Amino acid sequence: MADDPADFGHAPVLLERCVALLTPALAREHSDGSGAVLVDATVGAGGHAERFLTDLPGLRLIGLDRDPAALDIAAARLSRFSDRVTLVRTRYDDIATALAESGCDPMGSVHGVLFDLGVSSMQLDHVERGFAYAHDAPLDMRMDPDTPLTAADIVNTYDEPALADILRRYGEERFARRIAAHIVRRRSVTPFTTTGELVELLYQAIPAPARRTGGHPAKRTFQALRIAVNGELDSLRRALPAALDALTVDGRIVVLAYQSLEDRIVKDIFRAAVTSRTPTGLPVELPGHAPEFRSLTRGAERADRAEIERNPRSAPVRLRALQRVPRHDAARRATHGG
């Protein structure tokens, strides 16, 4: 069946929780979602999008993705909703432009936004993309195949300090300097062209005791290169404020993050959004300084054991969600603790 997630190699993570969090905003004015707009900022294979469009037959969805292969799959999966779906090939930090081009005001017009971050199941399963360290493939890792920078470019041309910095910052790799030195030494003889060559080097560079703990020894290096190739963290820092700006009053945003660097950015931006800007110690809230959002989650929520067993890729997920509140409500909560 076309609506079987297995047909698309994609099991949506925390699907029921996303539905529970976003539906009150999408169905607030009309129970069928009429008049509401949901932005799926990482539409991928369309698993989350399909559920919302099925449950809410009046809902309009704007789906963003930088990966043309993902958009092709999403278009096929969502074809029966075609009159209610707009798919845009773009990075999610260009959400304001995508909304304007789709006929929506980038400020205060959207009822729900969903971010499902990280590399998708579809991208991992397509070996030729070079995202997975378990298979030998071209050393690519581009989410958008039309962008110029590849993982091979970084590995073969960045100097040793720059390589070590990428591995340390984006992969939190404690052997970053050691790995960078091994890479530079190896490439002076033969440039890297495949993921297998890099994995082989990592086994040589990382001490044996460290290889036996903490998962696959290539995990952190591959994460770091993928983030660097795709500018993921900088894009996320720009995208989240734009998404918050796009929400109407009572609109909601849900973000699924899969590694600590992403989740830290989400946590920091969300914390700022729910915090009053009135200086500490003043007895009343200053006009225009009350928080415009409230948190819908207590910290980060995780997948339960049953979901992890069904879909192991949900194991690292962290979910956070906010709702925009009316300004007078925000001020009242800030001054009266409600």
What beta strand segments (E) does the chain contain? 37-40, 60-65, 85-89, 110-116, 247-257, 293-295, 318-324
For residue 159, say whether it is annotated as part of any ligand binding site: no
Q: Using alpha carbons, select from 70, 76, 72, 123 the residue that is nearest to residue 92.
A: 70
Q: What's the token pair of residue 300? A: 């980060």
Backbone CA torsion sign across 125, 129, 133, 135? positive
Output 152-161 pairs: Cβ under 8 A, ≥24 positions apart: 152/191, 152/192, 152/193, 154/225, 154/228, 154/229, 155/183, 155/187, 155/192, 155/198, 155/225, 156/187, 156/191, 156/192, 159/184, 160/184
DSSP assignments along 209-231, one per residue? HHHTSSS-TTHHHHHHHHHHHHT
46 is in an annotated binding site: yes
130 is in an annotated binding site: no
Q: Is 116 annotated as a binding residue?
A: yes
Q: Is 65 annotated as a binding residue?
A: yes
CA distance 233 to 302: 21
- CA atoms of 103 and 278, how far apart (whole Å): 35
Sequence-separated (6 or more) residues with CB below 8 Å from residue 295:
270, 274, 320, 321, 322
Q: Could you say which DSSP state residue 61 is in?
A: E
- For residue 295, what is the DSSP state? E
Instruction: Count the neighbouring beta carbons within 10 Å of the beta carbon of residue 99.
Output: 25
Binding-site annotation: residue ranges for S-adenosyl-L-methionine:
46-48, 65, 92, 116, 123
Residue numbering of the annotated binding site: 46-48, 65, 92, 116, 123
